[in-house]
Amino acid sequence: MTAAPTGQTRPDTAATAPLPGSVDPGLSGARAAIFGVGPGIGLECVRVLGALGAHVACVDLDPDRADAAAAEFDRWPGEGFALAADVCDRDDAERVVADATDALGGLDVVINVVGHGGPAVPVADMPDDVWTDVLRINLDHHFYVTRAAMRSMIAQRRGSIVLISSVNALGSSPQRAVYGIAKAGLISLAKSLAIEAAEHGIRVNTVAPGATRTPRRQHLAEGDLAAVYRDSIPLGRLAEPQEVARAAMFLASDLASYITGETLVIDGGASVKYCLPAGN
């Protein structure tokens, strides 16, 4: 496949197609739950797994988004189930994991995309409610969902969990310190779970995307900001949502059967640049 010139977005009609040749990720018939299926990374996760033959519980706070994601299965061999829940509420999170497990007859894969950056505010001026809300949206609910999913996976002695973190977890996160803290917490959570769950045949990993051209972040690919990002990212563009989704699919699949407790960074090389301009 020919790469697009630096700075250009390559149309990717293969994003939701099965992998070519003899490569089999082992997801045909897999029972998966994806949390946060609105347009962007979550919906692309649904599409990638659906095209590979998985059965998917599409979970979202917005019932219409859940329904739209499940409706995508009209063109795929698997089944899609729409489930609405507020996973930031402990009881609702546990209820929807149980509903997904019942609908699918078990749970082989969990991909949790739910998160939000919160307002930009320095730590010295940060209200208590911003601190608690951003932690709740980006870290606490992952604990609720993962804890409930682990119980099902332990019983069947297999499973794969993928948590969507962020490059904000890997360095400083000025003006959004609590977001960076929450996303770093996800990486730590995955590492601890990877050890605890290994004896049960369960793998736990994270994906850390950089700037991604989701509908919410579309402004980063337009106007003056687009030039800033092209200059700062070695590959010269933002990630496409399906590129992050395919990384999550890889970690969830049999292709990554000996990988656990790891973080896969998807940022076009931005985080490995030398920290001073003279080094680049």
Catalytic, out of 179, 229, 258, 274: 179
Q: Please tell me the distance from the alpha carbon of residue 108 to that of residue 179, in angstroms, as a whole number.
A: 29
3-state DSSP assignment of residue 169: helix
Is 229 annotated as catalytic?
no
SS3 of 74-135: the string is HHCCCCEEEEECCCCCHHHHHHHHHHHHHHHCCCCEEEECCCCCCCCCCHHHCCHHHHHHHH
At a CB cut-off of 8 Å and minimum separation 6, what does 85 contact? 59, 60, 61, 92, 93, 95, 96, 99
φ and ψ at residue 21, rounded to 5 degrees = 65, -145
Q: Please tell me the distance from the alpha carbon of residue 15 to that of residue 24, in angstroms, as a whole number.
A: 16
Question: Using alpha carbons only, how large is the chain's radius of gyration in Å?
Answer: 18
Residue-wise over 188-215: b if at least 16 C-beta within 10 A, else e?
ebbbebbeebeeeebbbbbbbbbbbbbe
Residue whose pair of structure tokens reads 């045949």 in the numeric block: 201
Q: How many CB atoms lie within 10 A of CB 132?
A: 12
Tokens of 11: 């149309």
φ and ψ at residue 112, rounded to 5 degrees = -115, 115
List C-alpha distances in Å: 97 to 52, 60, 100, 147, 174.
Answer: 22, 12, 5, 10, 34
Residue whose pair of structure tokens reads 């996160």 in the numeric block: 173
Task: Provide the annotated active-site residues.
Answer: 179
